[in-house]
Each structure stands twice: as structure tokens, then as C-alpha cells.
Chains A and B, each alone.
Chain A
Amino acid sequence: MTLTDVRPAGTRRGPARNRSRNRAQNRETLVLLLPALIPVLVLSVGPLVYGIMLAFTDARSGRNTETSFVGLANFGELLTDGDFWESFRIGMVWAVSVTVLQFLASLGLALLLDQDLRLRGFARVLALVPWAMPPVVIGLMWRLVYHPDAGILNAVLGTDVDWLNDFSVALPAVIVVGVWMGMPQTTVVLLAGLQNVPKELHEAAGVDGAGVWRRFWNVTLPQLRPVIVAITSLDFVWNINQFSLVYVLTQGGPGGRTRLPMLFAYEEAFRYGFFGYAATLGVAITIVVLAVLGVYLWRQMREAD
């Protein structure tokens, strides 16, 4: 394709010769791509296809189990599985609130870091610190923060709340950690977007008499729009697929109040040994995420036009 674009068919060489040459070059390209393609096929596509296939079987853990094809039975079971839908509801609450809060907090931080502050470089580095930590370490650290007796939070607030074990505050407490953890990448992306907003636009708007708020609303935000759409959709996918953080913080407790869908699928597979059903859960979650994202992106695109 690109070759014909670069060298349109109006040259002196015959079109037939051109095509065979193209084919040869295509083959070469393919050969050159192969080393990069193999790991993608083996490490990404392979497990994905295997996982999708598992979803249509009754695979279970065990030495003496036989796996057979069960068609859509797993999906039928899924539709009536109240525990899964409860977990899914929690997952949506978690993903939406973390994504929205993360976006708002990061936008504020990015705007701040975009100003000509003293020690700006230092502040920008500080803002990145959570990014450098693995989720497990973050989980352990926050578990200490939330500890009912030794935790710094109860000490500062003078309260006596068991944050991670209370039925009503456990999910909000975990959401706060989720927001904290995801802020750096959102901030960095938004900051990069902010720096690309042409200064002239601000100046022109200023000359026209627009105040700070007005300039933010009518200049900065529209310019930032593609960046915002991209980062919020990515954040949403990351958040709904979150596993390690909750696994370390609460293991899905108390009484399943923080059991995100991925944790639910993990338990089905590695605690109870229903591999087939767990694969079905994975496929179903993927479909739902794609659908939600599709609708969101489609609406954003339409509004942008």
C-alpha cells in the first residue's frame, strides 16, 4: 500500500513488474516482522485464544478431571449468578468513581504543575512517586495507613474506625487508594496535553476580555479534549481490570464488599478450581468493557465533530 502511494503507477516500469516487486518486498517485510510477531503470537494471542476456548468448556482443577465442550452453558450460568452481578456492580462503582476522581484530581495537579512555580521540577518528580511503586507495595503501605490501632489515619483523625473491615467504608477506602495510585500517569498525560495548548490562544482570549475561568473553559478544555478522552478511557480499562491492589488490601472482604470482578474470577479459578467458568467471566468482562468503551468513545467522537 505505502509503496504504491510513494511511487504511483505512472512510472516507466510496467504495472505487472511493479506488482511482483511489491509482493517480494511484502514478503521481506513479513520475514523481518516475524521475530517481533512470534512473541506477540506466543505470549499474547495464544493465551487469549486458549482463554476464550476454555470459556466454552467445563474445565476444572484436578488430576482426574475430564474437560468437555459445554457450549454456552457457562454464559447461561453467568446470567443467573447473583454473586457475579453483585461483584460486577461493585466493579463498575469502583471503576467509574476511581476514573472520575482520578481525572479531576489529576487535572488540578496538572494545572498547578503547569504554572511557573518555584521548584517546579522537584514538584513534578514528587508527583510521579506513586508511579514508581508496585501495586503490592502500595497495598501494604496503605494497609498500615488504615490499620485500626497502629494506623496513621486514625491517629490523625482521632477516630476509631476499622477502615478496611467496615461494611460501609471499605469500598470508599479502597477507592481512595485507587485514585492515589493512578494519579501520576493521568497527571503526566494531562500535563503534556496542557503544554501543547498554544499560548497565543490564551493571549487572544485574554485580549478579548476573557477571565481565567472563561479561558480554562473555552480554550484549555476544548484543546485538551482528545487527551482527556484517551486518558479517561485508558484509566477506565486499567481500573476495572485492577486486581493486585484489592488482593493485598482486603482480599475482597468484608463479606465481599470490595470483591472486584477480576478478584471474583481469580477466586473462581484458583481458590475453587472452576477454570472454565472463570474463563467465561474473563470473556464476559472483556465484552462489557469493550461495549462501555465503544459507547463512550463513539459519543465523544460525535460531539467532537
Chain B
Amino acid sequence: MRRWSAALAVAAVVLAAGCSSGGGDGDGAASGGPVKLRFLSLAWQKESIAANKQLVDEWNKANPEIQVEYVQGSWDNVNDQLVTSFEAGDPPDVIHDDSPALSGFASRGFLLDLSSSLPAELKSDIPQPAWDTVTFADGKGGQGVYGVPFLQESQVIYANKKLLDASGVRIPTSDAPWTWDEFAAAAKKMTKGGAYGVAWPMKSPVNKVLTLGLNFGGTFFTTEGGKTTVKVGPEEREVLQRIHDQLYKDKSADPSALGMGTADPLPGFFAGKYAMVPAGVYLRQQVAEQAPDGFEWVTLPPLKGATAQQGATSQTLSVATDSKHPQEAVKFISFFLNGPNQAKLAKGDWLLPTSTAAAADPAMTTKENFWDVATASAKNLVVAPYLKVNGYDEWKSKVGAPTLQEYFADKISLDDAARKLVEEGDKVLERYAR
């Protein structure tokens, strides 16, 4: 038995080795065949997968000498998958990911610096603030651009139109958004008859809190002399305290929604149990599709604190350092992310395109499904400090998420939460400074 399985294992290894070297030969332009690229896509909504595949087909038809293979990945485990494939030296050529993940991969040398190889047209179509979300240290003292940012998300508020109108509050517009105080007052007014004014789905609270924290200038991280530390001062506490107040002081937010993922409050929202749900712009897709007949909803623009700024994180396309055909990969990315194509991708994912040409597309500014509100909110996006923090992912999962969850569940005080975020957080970040 054992000998047989051993023989099988050996055979498998030989086969695998044969395949990969065979594939390597086939890849080379020298052998005359077309260049083959693998494109790891993380599209998951139906329309978005269709848009991605359609663009790949279009490219393959137009470029017989550079053939792109669509590989389906998943946001759930993409970073684990990438670590293993990078370490094994056989990563996909074109990689779809998001900007928070790039910093770590860039500093470890797994991603190609694209600053010199991107065509001018693409460079100028995407504004500098978006490029800032993908500019990172290369781990050797320099800086580089490690991806092309294409889809961005801002946090808006979904409201039940009937309850909103009935409360008599001022309806905010993109030019005159609600302040956090107005939001709190409106939520209080809409809390009646068994309904809550707002549901905060806080299953993954960290990114949400950190991006909204910028409303009051809360950066959560400071870097001095090359050393990054966690900071929870008065600016950072604003948003934390305000959400906590809604939950336990105003009682205008439902505590039982805290454990929910972003889309989970929707059934309650449709049933009139929650008047408002703060969430990313992409949720419009699910709201529009799942809303029962006769249910009227609106998208309210982002809230304003000291500013209306929010932290921008982008979805990105990057090229692996180990790719055998980096130039072809860049060519493919330039095609995939040009203005018209970005508009298609943005429509498929209900997100905001970084391309200025795509943002001007009529489909991106229509009143239908509140594209106008969503697109207007893009101007508030600034690069969030946490994007540049090496070790952010570990801080988020080991310190950030548990601490914020405990704080919002009212198990610890704000002072305790702040102390934990800083003390335990700094310990985590120290590992990455070595």
C-alpha cells in the first residue's frame, strides 16, 4: 500500500515538474506560441464577473499573441493564496487585490514597481490621490507604485424614504451633507414605534471606523522617524464615542445589529425595523435588487465632521515580480482599466471608478439608483494613513477588531479600548519594524 502511494506521489511530482517546465517553454515568445498570462480576478457579484470575463474575451480576440486566462479567486482567502504562490515562485501574472494588502507584499518584494512602465494616458486619467493609495515603500528605502487603482468605495447612508420624510428632518444633499450632530438628531427622531433610527453592522468594524475617523481628523497611526505607532487621541475618539452614544445613550441604534455583516441588516431595513443603515456604496446593488415592491429608499451622502473626508481604499491590479511577461501584463492592465472599461467594471460592482473619463460617463452620474450621490462622494476620498502601515493586517485582526467589538458591545470603556489599541497595537507593529 505504502509503496504504491509512494510511487504515485513520485509520479505526481514528476508529472507536475514536467507540466510546469513544459508550460514554461510554451510561454516563451521564442518558441513562437502566444504569450500566456494568468489574471487572478476577485470579482464576485454576478454582473461584475460577467463584465470581467467579457473584457478578457475582448482582449484575447484583439491580441492573439497575448492570451489571458481568467482565474477566479475569492476575497476570503486571496492573501493567504498569494503568500503561498509568491513563496512558491509561481504567482498569477496579473493580480486583483486591494490597496491595504499591497503594502506588505510590496515591502517583501513580491510586486513589480509600475511607476516607470505605465503609459502616460492611464497615468493622467487617474488622479494623484488614487495613485497615493498604491504608493508604498519598497522595503529597501525607496518608493514605488505597486498597482493600478481602479475601484473605490465610500461610506454612505441608506435611508427608508417613508420614515425619513415622516421625521421632518432636513434632507441632506451632496453639497450640504448632514453633520454627525444632525445625523444623531435624525436617528433619534426616527426611533419610534419599535423601529430603530440606525443599524450599525459592525462584524468587521476596523476599516469602517478608521475611514469614518478621518471626518474628525482621526488618523489612528503616526509615523515619526520611520517608526509607526498607534494613536488614539481626542480626534480618534470622536467617531467611536458618537457611535457608542447612539447605541447606549440615545438608544437610537440597535445593539443586536452589531454582530452583523454589512448586508445582514437589509431584511430589517426593508421591514422598517431600521430607518437607516450606514454602508459602502456597493450595497446599493443589493438594496436595489432585494427591496420588496413599493419599498422606497434613498442614498444619503457621506456625513461631515470637521470635514467630510473618508479614507480611500482602492481595488487594484498589480503585476507579480516573478511574472515572466511583465510588459505584456502591463499592456493588458492598461487596456483593462481604460476609461470606458472602468465604467463597465464600476457598473458591474456598483463602486466608484478612479478614472476621470469613466466618472464622466453618463451611467456614473445618472439619478437612477443614486449613482449621482455615489459618484459625488468620491471627491471626499483621501489616502488613509493606515494603508501605509506595515503590519496593519495583523493589528486589525489581533487588536483592532476584538477591541472595537468589545467596546461597541459596551464590555469595556473608551479609555480601556484606547489603551488596548495603543499598547497591544504597538507591540504588534514592533515585529514589522525589525
Point out residues on A near B: beta carbons under 8 Å.
Answer: 35-36, 38-40, 43, 60-65, 83, 148-149, 162, 165-167, 251, 254-256, 267, 270-274
Contacts and interface: CB of A to CB of B under 8 A. Distances in A.
Nearest to A274: B431
A39 B104 contact: no
Interface in B302-357: 321
A85 B409 CA distance: 24
Interface residues of B, number: 37
B394 interface: yes
Nearest to B108: A62
B389 to A, nearest CB: 13
A63 B321 contact: yes
Q: B79, B203, B264, B394 — which one has the most chain A CB atoms within 10 A of its CB? A: B394
A167 B401 CA distance: 12
B409 A167 contact: yes
Contact of A63 (B109, B260, B398): B109
B80 A254 contact: no
Q: B110, B402, B406, B409 — which one has the most chain A CB atoms within 10 A of its CB? A: B402
A166 B259 contact: yes
B80 A162 contact: no
Nearest to B394: A272
Contacts of A148: 264
Question: Which 9 pairs of residues, A with B, have the shortest CB-CB distance?
Answer: A62-B108, A39-B6, A255-B402, A63-B109, A64-B109, A270-B80, A165-B259, A272-B394, A270-B83
B9 A43 contact: yes
Given A166-B259, A167-B409, A256-B402, A62 B139 contact: yes
Given A39-B3, A162-B259, A272-B393, 8 more contacts: A36-B6, A39-B6, A62-B107, A63-B108, A63-B109, A65-B108, A255-B406, A272-B394
Nearest to B80: A270
Nearest to A267: B397
B65 to A, nearest CB: 29
B46 interface: no
B59 to A, nearest CB: 29
B6 A273 contact: no
Nearest to A264: B398
Interface string B67-111: 000000000100110011011000000000000000010011110
A38 B6 contact: yes
Interface in B182-239: 203
B109 A255 contact: no
A275 to B, nearest CB: 9
Given A36-B2, A270-B83, A271-B79, A256 B398 contact: yes
A234 B119 CA distance: 61
A39 B2 contact: yes
Contacts of B406: 255
B3 A62 contact: no
A62 B259 contact: no
A40 B10 CA distance: 12
A61 B107 CA distance: 10
29 contacts: A35-B3, A35-B6, A36-B2, A36-B3, A36-B6, A39-B6, A40-B2, A60-B108, A61-B83, A61-B87, A62-B109, A62-B139, A63-B108, A63-B109, A63-B321, A64-B140, A149-B264, A149-B267, A165-B259, A167-B405, A251-B76, A254-B259, A254-B405, A255-B402, A255-B405, A270-B84, A271-B83, A271-B393, A272-B391
A62 B9 contact: no
Contacts, number: 74
Contacts of A162: 259-260
Contacts of A256: 397-398, 402
Contacts of B393: 271-272
Contacts of B391: 272
Contacts of A40: 2
A251 B77 CA distance: 10
A270 B86 CA distance: 11
Nearest to A266: B80
Contacts of B139: 62, 64
B141 to A, nearest CB: 12
Q: A40, A149, A273 — which one has the most chain B CB atoms within 10 A of its CB? A: A273
Contacts of A60: 108
A60 B432 CA distance: 11
A274 B434 CA distance: 12
Contacts of A165: 203, 259
Contacts of B83: 61, 270-271, 273
B45 to A, nearest CB: 19
Nearest to A63: B109
A206 B5 CA distance: 50
A64 B3 CA distance: 40
A38 B80 CA distance: 31
Nearest to B140: A64
A65 B107 CA distance: 10
A162 B257 CA distance: 10
Contacts of B259: 162, 165-166, 254
B64 to A, nearest CB: 33
Nearest to A77: B431
Interface string B22-53: 00000000000000000000000000000000
A32 to B, nearest CB: 11
A40 B409 CA distance: 51
Contacts of A39: 2-3, 5-6, 9-10
